[in-house]
Amino acid sequence: MAELLFYCKFSATALTGCWPSGGSSSSEQTKNAVKTALKAAVEQNEDSYNLVENKALSVKARAILEAYLQDEYADVYNPLDVTEVYQTDEPVGDDYFGTAVFSMPENAVDPQAWKRAANALVANFLCYYQYNGNNVEFCVEIVKQEAADGQGEAADYMVIFAKKHDGEEGGEIWTPPAL
């Protein structure tokens, strides 16, 4: 009887595509894969800086994605073949966020799937958002976006963004960005 229950559970899991993940969802595993790839890219980059993750920024991810997709110059990058990521600032409220949006690869939970994207982000994108010396405040979030006309398929996007910290202008003196 126990064997029969095991095979029934195994078959139902295989049919639905929901493999056990050891307690964390595939979206968390995917975000962790991106963070792992980013940290490895920072360690290899000669102009290294500290990535400071701010999970509280994730509540802004949907608004950032919507603003990004409305920007006529913004691209949705394929993480498997991207070589450069261009700086795109998106305003949300009083803040600006340097944003890059990626389509989701099939093996999204593998850090190797994000290696090219991470290298491109670290080499020529995230460095523009440094504050207090060499910190970059960033967030990684997956956002499902419905088709604008309601007819097309929904798509999952990996939204990677860094908060822009502006300094203050005082007369002729410019202070560097600070938290």
**Residue at 50 is within a domain:** yes
Read off the CATH number of the domain in which 69 is found.
Answer: 3.40.33
Total domains present in the chain: 1
**Residue at 1 is within a domain:** no
Q: Give the Cα separation of 120 and 158 in Å (integer).
A: 15
**Residue at 99 is within a domain:** yes
Q: Give the Cα separation of 99 and 136 in Å (integer).
A: 13
Pairing of strands 135-145, 130-131: antiparallel
Q: Each residue's pLDDT tens digit in the chain (179 positions)?
A: 444 344 444 334 333 333 344 456 789 999 999 999 999 999 998 777 999 999 999 999 999 999 999 998 889 999 999 999 988 899 999 999 999 999 999 899 999 999 999 999 998 899 899 998 889 999 999 998 776 555 566 789 999 999 999 765 444 545 555 44
Q: Which of 82, 121, 81, 83 is nearest to 100 (CA)?
A: 121
**Residue at 5 is within a domain:** no
Range of the domain at 107: 25-168
The model's pTM is 0.77
Note whether 98 and 88 are within 8 A (CB): yes
Pairing of strands 130-131, 95-103: unpaired
**Residue at 7 is within a domain:** no
